[in-house]
Amino acid sequence: MKKILVLCTGNSCRSQLAEGYLRHFAQGKAEIYSAGIETHGVNPKAVQVMKEDGIDISGHTSNLVDEYSHIDFDYVITVCDNARESCPYFPTKAQKFHHNFPDPAKAVGTSEEVLNEFRAVRDLVKAYMKDFIEEHVNDERYVSK
């Protein structure tokens, strides 16, 4: 079974969205983890916008990348430039992927405008993670026999 790690700065928004969608689209065909180079706790707005899309991430935790140094990942996906540049080194044969998603936690404006930014980032993350699972987990060329 493939092991996938999603990395972000604080493991509170983008990586949590990604973990939720990767789990959803993989349907048990991959082990999914998310972590940060810091921990900021899971952002309640991330939980809210995922719930709007039928996915419950309220039980997720914010974890440090060091907690997973013993796991031999197949794929590591960084979802922000800061994590890509600041991630501590740990030995892995994992293929690395990167996509810099906007940080919805930095959104300003009314509460509705901020939620709309979370929704927009959620939709970007959803599309990327759906494609990732289809290509790297569901594609027969990549499935372990």
Q: Which of 5, 6, 7, 8 is catalytic?
A: 8
Q: Which of 80, 121, 133, 137 is catalytic?
A: 80
Q: Tens digit of pLDDT for each residue in 110-131?
A: 999 999 999 999 999 999 999 9
pLDDT at 145 over 50: no
CA pair distance 92, 50, nearest whole angstrom: 30
Q: Is 13 among the residues known to form the active site?
A: no
Q: Which of 37, 87, 121, 129 is catalytic?
A: 87
Range 17-29 average pLDDT: 97
Q: Tens digit of pLDDT for each residue in 88-99?
A: 555 578 899 999
User: What is the per-residue DSSP string for the chain?
Assistant: -EEEEEEESSSSSHHHHHHHHHHHHHTTSEEEEEEESS-----HHHHHHHHHTT---TT----BGGGGTTS--SEEEE-SHHHHHHPPP-----EEEE-----GGG--SSHHHHHHHHHHHHHHHHHHHHHHHIIIIISTTTS--
Domains of the chain (ranges plus CATH)?
A: 2-138 (3.40.50.2300)
Predicted TM-score of the model (pTM)? 0.91
CA pair distance 59, 9, nearest whole angstrom: 19
Q: Is 87 among the residues known to form the active site?
A: yes
